Amino acid sequence: MSGRLQGRVALVTGASRGIGRAVAKRFAAEGAEVICVARTQGGLEELDDEITAAGGKAVLCPLNLRDFDKIDQVAAAMFQRFGKLDILVGNAGDIGGGLAPIGHVDQKHFQECFDINVTANYRLIRAFAPLLKQSDSGRAIFVTGAQAHTHSPYWGVYSASKAALESIVLTWATEIANIANTRVNLIDPGAVATRMRTIAFPGEDSTTLAQPDDVAGAFVDLADTACAKHGQIITLNQE
């Protein structure tokens, strides 16, 4: 690796598996100290072992993002320890208990989907925007999907949540365009072999899809201090 993120402090949600795991490992390989956020303690410990074995630095943060007030607590702890945040990756996602007609979606699953895909990311922005401003080149990256712009049957709740996420992130980007050195973007990784993809498309041959490691480089590009992109949606692996 080229050390493009040497000395940077990064926080990645949904880091215990899939794209988040690949991004956390790649960031660490590029020299960042990575705060790895996920619900699964075991998955985080395995990730830590891999990062440490490769000579990287990781801080484990077991957290259910639906515990919104704890996001503020993490931000306060990071201020005490680092005084800043250089890179924020909002990767954790929820598919709302699976796909179903709008009228059949369970209210619990509806709420869980919006809690993770929308509210948690809003709380991340609210909590960490001040820390990103303390960086000489703060970078925020959020994961979206093509469903935010389509109206495919059974995808309504997930689609609505991603559309809301895009609106929030792009509005924030506009608000800070001329008053902060933070660069904010969204990335649509496309068809990637993840657990969520398996739930959405059971029986699909995952070997025909991009793997999480294949898309991690695009996150590095957006996290790099040289990146000038702002308020954009970067699309990979179009279906």
* 1 lies in some domain: no
* 151 lies in some domain: yes
Buried b (16+ CB within 10 A) or exposed e, 103-142: eebeeebbebbbbbbbbbbbbbbebbbebbeebebbbbbb
| Domains identified in the chain, total number | 1
Neighbouring C-beta atoms of residue 2, cutoff 10 Å: 10
* 218 lies in some domain: yes
Query: What pLDDT digit, counting tens, does each position of 89-126 carry?
Result: 999 999 877 789 999 999 999 999 999 999 999 999 99
- CATH number for the domain including 21? 3.40.50.720
Q: Which of 158, 163, 166, 173 is catalytic?
A: 158
* 2 lies in some domain: no
Q: Report how far residue 180's alpha carbon sits from residue 198's, in angstroms, rounded to the nearest whole number.
A: 39
Full residue range of the structural domain in which residue 71 is found: 9-235
Q: Report how far residue 208's alpha carbon sits from residue 193's, in angstroms, rounded to the nearest whole number.
A: 9
The token pair that represents 93 in the structure block = 């996602």
* 3 lies in some domain: no
Active site residue 154: no
Please name which of 1, 42, 51 lies closest in space to residue 24, comparing C-alpha atoms.
Answer: 51
* 189 lies in some domain: yes
Query: What pLDDT digit, counting tens, does each position of 136-150 carry?
Result: 999 999 999 999 999
Residue 183 clears pLDDT 80, i.e. is over it: yes
Query: What pLDDT digit, counting tens, does each position of 189-212 carry?
Result: 998 988 888 888 888 888 889 999
